[in-house]
Amino acid sequence: MTAPTTRADCVRLDEADPLAALRDEFAVPDGLVYLDGNSLGVRPRAAAARAAQVVEQEWGHDLIGSWNSAGWWELPGRLGDRLAPLIGGGPGTTLVTDTTTSNLFKALAAAMTLQSSAAPGRRLVVSERDNFPTDLYVAAGLAELLGQGHELRLIESPADLDAALADGPAVVTLSHVNYRTGALWDLADVTARVHAAGALVVWDLAHSVGALPIDLSGADADFAVGCTYKYLNGGPGSPAFLWVHPRHAGAGTSALPGWWGHARPFAMESAFEPAEGVGRFLSGTQPVVSLALVECGLDIASCADLAAVRAKSLALGDLFLDLVEQRCGDHPLTLVTPREHERRGSHLTLAHPDAFAVVQALIARGVVGDYREPDCMRFGLTPLYLRFVDVWDAVDALADVLDTRAYEDPAHRTRSTVT
């Protein structure tokens, strides 16, 4: 695509956009260009009424009867079945439950213990140094906790994966899209290489689910986890998901076996007997209010063809990069994200020496991106509610902040707890 040179060109792109109508399903604040949906998605309009229904009717009026009458007990599995098509999972393979961190703990522990019996000599767990910190903490913590001599090896770049695979790892765990750089792994190709090396793979889909087509079954992956509050618009801290390939669901052991994962929870037996299938990875009572709201985001995501979502995400990204080149070419900006379509996810990262203050100055102009250490500005492209004119307006603001050196204002240099 050659870059439109006027805002009117962007308006025409929006008029031709097959996903344009979905924006009406979201409560996007007036005048805001929101480029942080990869961190916390915008609220679906329906979420307010659904929250009121859960709080006032289901909790407020029906109280404990709602476990049955409102289907609270079945929510993790029912929402899992609704999410599964977005990740290429069949029915009964996916749960919406707990956090990404705790699901990763369960998935990784299951993969590591499966390998401890299947391939007892293997003690290596491979990940990337640039992976999201929680993923690394979980992997390192488990390696120590299991007390079986596991070693965590972190590769420095994608090119190092083959060397690590040659050392016969037990498990490889990677984020499909890198949270900081936006770089995308080829999920099918990596899964095949990991399997050829005799290892199991655990994917973190936090930054890809809802943003691009994913086919875990087609790739024959082993385990996957991810967030619902990013591209799936489930709400702040909404429960995460866990997908387990059916070949492992009946054999894998949960490292957090709780009563929700028991074969007969209400028999209240003193010994744990895992439920058939993925249900054994449930632990305890779920945050029902938050869990119920996940469905509002899934309702919208289920309407959208993921190929169209991906096409629009790439078109928004190309537009953003072309405009930045045209309008901000004189400034010390470096593209951190790979530019090739097949190697990038749905957010773009630009490095700038004053990245933190530039992001703050943009926020003051109603353009919300975010900052990541050490010098990265992230701009999330969420095709369900972002317009081409929003990209135009965002780059317009960026060019202004850079040209006027607005970021030098001391007001933009103060850091709050959450950056």
Ligand X SMILES: *Cc1c(COP(=O)(O)O)cnc(C)c1O
Which residues are annotated as catalytic?
132, 204, 229-230, 378
Nearer to ligand X, 123 or 378 (CB): 378
Q: Is the separation of the CB atoms in 377 and 349 below 8 Å?
A: yes
To which H or E segment does residue 126 belong?
strand 124-128
Between 119 and 136, whose beta carbon lies closer to ligand X?
136
Q: How far is CA 221 from CA 74, 88, 201, 213, in A?
A: 26, 10, 6, 15
In terms of C-beta density within 10 A (0-12 exposed, 13-18 middle, 19 or more buried), how is residue 8 classed?
exposed
Based on CB atoms, which residue is closest to ligand X, 53 or 99? 99
User: How far does the chain reach from its first CA to its final CA, in angstroms?
Assistant: 34
Least Å distance, CB 184 to ligand X, is 13
**How far apart are alpha carbons 184 and 176 in whole angstroms?**
6
To the question of whether residue 207 is assigned a binding role by annotation, the answer is yes
Query: 62 or 130: whose CB is closer to ligand X?
Result: 130
Is residue 330 annotated as involved in ligand binding? no
Confirm whether residue 383 is marked as ligand binding.
Answer: no
Q: Quick check: helix, strand or coil at residue 100?
A: helix
223 is in an annotated binding site: no
Taking the least distance from each CB to ligand X, the nearer of 135 and 295 is 135
C-beta separation of 44 from 299 below 8 A: yes
Q: How far is the CB of 40 from ligand X (least distance, A)?
A: 10
Spell out the residues 6+ positions from residue 344 whose beta carbon is closer than 8 angstroms to its own: 182, 183, 184, 314, 317, 337, 338
In contact, 138 and 131? CB cutoff 8 Å: no
**Cβ closest to ligand X, residue 230 vs residue 327:** 230
Q: Which of 308, 377, 371, 318 is nearest to 344 (CA)?
A: 318
> Residue 8: in which H helix or E strand, if any?
helix 7-15
Residue 105 assigned to a binding site:
no
Q: Looking only at Cα atoms, what is the longest distance across the chain?
A: 69
Q: State the minimum distance, in angstroms, from the CB of residue 19 to ligand X.
A: 24
Query: Does the annotation flag 132 for ligand binding?
Result: yes
CA atoms within 13 A on the CB side of 167: 16
Q: Is 173 annotated as a binding residue?
A: no
Rounded to an integer, what distance in angstroms lies between the CA atom of residue 310 and that of residue 28? 21
Kindly list the residues in this chain that would bind ligand X in the complex (CB under 6 A).
99-101, 132, 134-135, 175, 179, 204, 206-207, 227, 240
Q: Which residues pair with 351 in a beta bridge?
A: 334, 376
For the CB of residue 378, give the shortest distance to ligand X in the complex, in Å: 11
Q: How far is the CB of 206 from ligand X (least distance, A)?
A: 3
Q: How far is the CB of 186 from ligand X (least distance, A)?
A: 17
For residue 24, say whether it is annotated as part of any ligand binding site: no
CA distances (Å), origin 68, targets 72, 104, 246, 259, 355: 7, 29, 27, 17, 51
Q: What residues are designated binding site for pyridoxal 5'-phosphate?
A: 100-101, 132-135, 204, 207, 229, 259, 285
Residues within the annotated binding site? 100-101, 132-135, 204, 207, 229, 259, 285
